[in-house]
Structure 1
Amino acid sequence: MRAAALQNPYWLRLSFDGAHSWLLVDLDPTVAGTYGQVLYMSEVEELAFAVANSVTELLATFAADLDQGLYTLDEGALEDDNEFLVPDATINLDNWAQTERWRNALTN
């Protein structure tokens, strides 16, 4: 991924992992993409792929994953008042290459 691609003004940043990965709303999709799709982008791995067709779909998937118990509250988070959820290994985007869900997303 070229550095210029990281600065696309039509990619709205939804989240950042504090290192080199983002979730972005894509307002400038390729021919194969969908306007408003949500992309996972890793600067280190030099890749980007769609994780949802829309923010609505992303939130619906998140809610379903919560209902299925695929997130837990980080144990140390309560101690430093910095609460966050930890995804199950089967859905963790940081490990996309080891998860069926995200490997499939990359190949579709």
Structure 2
Amino acid sequence: MVRILSKGLLAAVAIIGILAFGLFITKELLKEKVEGAEVDHNLSKIKVAVVYERVTDGMVTNRSVEDVISLLKEMGVDFVFRGWWRWTPCPNRCEDLPSSKARMRCE
């Protein structure tokens, strides 16, 4: 009985140690990504802000995402507001769409 408990305790300690190590590594990697990107979250430094709804919609304006990025860089934009704005939430599956016509187009 004591051996079973000690083996179980040892296994639990090992699992907790592995999880803690994984969490530490993940935290360090995320910190490196943010520091490497040099993101400044101070809104008072924003000089040029735009409202550009539907950045990824090539149907209305016939622009690709690369075209939009190039355009925003040329304008010196610091902040894009509502870049992926939608009036309704984007569904995760075709079955979640409201109409049968939309579901057929999705599939």
| TM-score range relative to shorter protein | under 0.3
**Bigger radius of gyration, 1 or 2?**
2
Q: Structure 1 or 2: larger strand share?
A: 1
Q: Name the TM-score, length of structure 2 as normaliser.
A: 0.19
Q: Name the TM-score, length of structure 1 as normaliser.
A: 0.19
Q: Which structure is higher in RCO with an 8 Å CA cutoff and minimum separation 6?
A: 2
Q: Structure 1 or 2: larger helix share?
A: 2
